[in-house]
C-alpha cells in the first residue's frame, strides 16, 4: 500500500471508505499546517534586548538570507528562473522542471552517491549558496550580502564550471549567477578593475530585485540593507589602495596617492549620479 504523505503513514485506515475520509482529512490538515507556517513566518518578533527589533532586523548573515530565498524559490522554481532570465541575462532556452538546493555540497554528496572512488579529487567542503538542477542545466548562485566578491573566490567559481562539466559531461550546462546588493554592483561597474565578477559573465541579480519580486519579506528586505560600503570598498587587488595589497608598500606618498585617486574617482561617480 502506498501512502502519499508522512501524515497518512501515522494512521493506516482499515477499509476503502475510511481511507478516502482519512486522505481528505489529511489534505485539510496539511493545508492548515502550511497556513500555520506562513502565519508564523509573517510574525516579526520585537524583543527588548534587540532594542525592540526582531532578529530579521539585525542579522547580517548571508546564509539566513539565502535560506529565506530558497524557501520562496521552492514554492515556484519556474517563476524564479523566469526572473533570472529577465534580470540576470540567463539564456531563454533553459527549462525545468527544477530541483532546488540551499548550501549544496555538490562534490561531496554527488561523488559519495555515485563515484566514491573520485571523492578525494574535489573539496568536500565546497558549497554552493543556492543551486537549481534540471535535466540539462545546473544554475549555481553565489551570494554576498555585507561583503563583496573577491578575485580569489572568482578562481574557485571558474574552477567549479570546469569541474562540474568534467563530472557530468558536456550535455549539462553550468551557469553561474552572482547575487549581491545593487549598490555593490553599481560600485563595481563604476570603479571595479579586476576579475571578481568575471566568472559570472554578466549574469547577476540583486537582493533588491528579489525582495521586490517576493513582496519585501523581512529577511530579504534586510539583505538589501547590510551592504553599506562606498565605491572605495570594491575588493579586488587591482582596485584596492596599495597598502592593502599583500606585500605592503612602505612609502606614505604612494599610499596616500592611491587613496586620493580612488576618492577622486568615487566623487566623479557620485557627481554623475547627481546630474542624471
* 81-114 residue pLDDT tens: 999 999 988 999 999 899 999 999 888 888 888 8
Residues 25 and 76 both lie in one domain: no
Residues 64 and 180 both lie in one domain: yes
Residues 140 and 251 both lie in one domain: no
* 155-203 residue pLDDT tens: 899 899 889 998 888 899 999 999 999 988 888 887 765 788 889 988 9
Which CA distances in Å does 256 have to 17, 56, 242? 83, 39, 9
CA distance 72 to 63: 14
Percent of the chain with pLDDT over 90: 33
Residues 130 and 174 both lie in one domain: yes
What's the confidence (pLDDT) of residue 34?
A: 40
Residues 86 and 137 both lie in one domain: yes
CA distance 13 to 11: 6
- Over residues 235-241, the mean pLDDT reads 40
Domain housing 16 = 6-42
Residue 1 counted as domain residue: no
Residues 123 and 169 both lie in one domain: yes
Residues 16 and 107 both lie in one domain: no
Residues 24 and 122 both lie in one domain: no
Residue 12 counted as domain residue: yes
Neighbours of 39 (CB within 10 A): 9
* 19-63 residue pLDDT tens: 444 444 444 443 333 444 444 444 567 888 888 888 888 888 899
Residues 14 and 93 both lie in one domain: no
End-to-end Cα, the chain, rounded Å: 67
Query: Residue 132 pLDDT > 90, yes or no?
Result: yes
Residues 107 and 142 both lie in one domain: yes
Whole-model pTM: value is 0.68
Cell 612602505 -> residue? 250
Give the count of domains, the chain. Answer: 3
Amino acid at each position: 500500500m502506498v501512502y502519499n504523505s508522512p501524515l497518512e503513514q501515522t494512521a493506516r485506515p482499515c477499509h476503502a471508505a475510511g481511507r478516502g475520509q482519512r486522505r481528505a482529512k489529511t489534505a485539510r490538515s496539511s493545508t492548515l499546517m502550511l497556513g500555520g507556517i506562513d502565519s508564523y513566518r509573517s510574525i516579526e518578533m520585537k524583543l527588548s534586548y534587540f532594542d525592540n527589533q526582531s532578529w530579521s532586523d539585525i542579522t547580517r548573515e548571508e546564509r539566513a538570507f539565502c535560506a529565506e530565498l530558497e524557501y520562496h524559490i521552492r514554492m515556484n522554481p519556474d517563476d524564479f528562473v523566469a526572473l533570472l532570465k529577465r534580470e540576470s541575462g540567463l539564456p531563454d532556452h533553459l527549462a525545468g522542471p527544477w530541483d532546488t538546493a540551499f548550501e549544496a555540497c555538490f562534490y561531496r554528496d554527488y561523488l559519495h552517491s555515485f563515484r566514491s572512488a573520485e571523492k578525494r579529487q574535489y573539496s568536500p567542503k565546497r558549497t554552493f549558496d543556492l543551486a537549481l538542477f534540471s535535466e540539462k542545466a545546473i544554475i549555481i548562485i553565489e551570494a554576498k550580502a555585507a561583503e563583496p566578491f573577491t578575485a580569489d573566490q572568482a578562481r574557485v567559481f571558474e574552477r567549479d564550471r570546469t569541474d562540474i562539466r568534467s563530472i557530468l559531461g558536456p550535455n549539462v550546462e553550468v551557469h553561474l549567477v552572482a547575487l549581491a546588493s545593487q549598490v555593490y554592483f553599481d560600485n563595481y561597474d563604476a570603479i571595479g578593475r579586476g576579475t571578481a565578477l568575471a566568472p559570472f559573465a554578466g549574469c547577476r541579480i540583486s537582493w533588491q530585485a528579489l525582495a521586490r519580486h517576493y513582496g519585501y519579506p523581512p529577511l530579504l528586505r534586510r539583505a538589501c540593507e547590510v551592504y553599506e560600503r562606498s565605491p572605495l570598498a570594491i575588493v579586488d587587488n587591482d582596485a584596492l589602495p596599495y597598502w592593502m595589497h599583500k606585500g605592503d608598500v612602505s612609502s606614505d606618498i604612494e599610499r596616500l596617492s592611491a587613496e586620493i585617486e580612488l576618492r577622486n574617482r568615487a566623487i566623479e561617480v557620485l557627481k554623475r549620479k547627481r546630474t542624471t
